[in-house]
Structure 1
Amino acid sequence: MKAIIVDDERLARKELTNLLSAYPEVEIIGEAANADEAIAMIESKRPDLLFLDIQMPGKTGFDLLESIDAAPLVIFTTAYDEYALKAFEVNALDYLLKPIHQDRLKSCLEKVLKEHKTIKEEEHEQAEYKLGLKDQVFVKDGDKCWFVKLADVRLFESDGNYIKVYFEQNKPMIHKSLNALDKKLDDRAFFRASRKHIINLSWVESIESWFNGGLLVKLKNGDKVEVSRRQASRFKEMMSL
């Protein structure tokens, strides 16, 4: 399991590296002292796991996650416990308070390794078949249930630990991460516009330039979705002849 440590304090990075040396399952492939360094490293190295500090000069750990389209598994490492609720709202797997103790790290890594194994097993299963426009899925939200053709789903939107599914006049919530869903969908039919949205390409009506090199996509029902700067060039390629 490949990991990156993001912390502005060199001694904190060194201490965590020393603690992690007891776990051969975790390979440290990089360290970053700030969010901008980390973003570039995440895009180039594609880690499975981030050990992420929250309070750093410039961008915070939360800002970093807002800046990337698909985040790896995240463990926050911080001296401040007041961020715990927000950490779990952005789907962090765990929250380690500094100074980090070996027994607490052990229980945290047991959870992470289990989650990583589950993800890899799902990826293996999903590699054999991707859901496309002709497929029908079962959606349940509370007492309400639907069988929905994916061709009718125009948009998926991340909302904490849930995904909002947009079809007809309905917007039910399902308990799933957008990353996991993205891996199940046929990328010839669905596009990861940003860390918050997946759009159905058959619903795209028009595209216009937007802020910071991004794009604004208008769907056939009038909904508008931003495509992040990092995804904009790929989106243009997919939608061109």
Structure 2
Amino acid sequence: MIKTILIDDEPLARDIVKFYLSEHKEIEIVAECCDGFEGLKAITQHKPDLIFLDIQMPKISGFEMLELVEDKPAVIFTTAFDEYAIKAFEVNAVDYLLKPIDKARFDSAIKKLPSRLNQTENTEAVLDAAAMSPAQSSRVVVKKDGIIKIIPVADINYLEADDDYVKLSTADGAFYKNKTMAFFEQALDAGQFIRIHRSYIINLAQVTKIELKEKDSYVVLLKSDIWLPVSKTGYVKLKAALGL
């Protein structure tokens, strides 16, 4: 039996999926959720093999919710027309259902399940691609001590490489995201964030001073009274960004 969870803020959309699934006795619905917060709790509790996940939901999007799931199940995304998301799905061969959901398309996605249940690499690629979209790149969703926090990127003072994670430093403390510095360098607005060092990306709005520490070695002071090293390449980029 394949355990599945339906995560969609539209009751009608969930009802349609339930109706279509009634013909697939090998799939058992163990929970229904109307937003990403409920979905995250249900996934932790039931550990499903498969989820049907809406993208456009209140509070946090389906993409943002899925990023917070450690052991990701197989996913069939459901969405109203979203050109950016659909391109990401097709490039990475991830199943999606366009609303209103067509039964033939639904049955086709179910047929592919046996070969997709234990493959999450393509889903990870979709999440990275989705994070580059304007809708997703204006904020970062993190989980700390079991609490989900939405951080507007403007509130990030700087980012620091920390082993397999990136530390986001804010006025409310430090938060960690299982991404790379290269990912954030590409995802964040280059007019607002500059990579000054292989280990640091800073928010230009936080810069108060740049000083020469020793020959060809600079440091930058942020409003939070934090000094950070600046590489030679980073110094060139920082000067250009500040118009110096």
TM-score normalised over the length of structure 2: 0.48
TM-score normalised over the length of structure 1: 0.48
Larger relative CO (CA 8 A, sep 6+): 1 or 2? Answer: 1
